[in-house]
């Protein structure tokens, strides 16, 4: 299982990207962030780093 970011909740702060140990999170053209499921280790550190709880396990 990988984690996903809810674009409706994401505020584009980048806190999640800063916590990812494998750099699986990148900003997108709309100013939000997305998780690359191929790189995601499902460690959950991004979910813990999100201040608006926009990240959940898929």
Whether the model clears a pTM of 0.75, i.e. scores above it, the answer is: yes
Predicted local confidence at residue 2, as pLDDT: 85
Predicted local confidence at residue 55, as pLDDT: 98
**Residues ≥6 apart with Cβ < 8 Å to 2:** 35, 37, 40, 42, 57, 58
pLDDT in tens, the chain (58 residues): 789 999 999 999 999 999 999 999 999 999 999 999 999 999 999 999 999 999 999 8
CATH architecture of 3-57: 2-Layer Sandwich (3.30)
């Amino acid at each position: 299982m990988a984690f996903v970011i809810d674009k409706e909740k994401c505020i584009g702060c980048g806190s999640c990207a800063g916590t990812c140990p494998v750099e699986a999170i990148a900003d997108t053209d709309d100013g939000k962030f997305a998780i690359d499921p191929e790189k995601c280790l499902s460690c959950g550190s991004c979910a813990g780093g999100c201040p608006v709880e926009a990240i959940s396990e898929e």
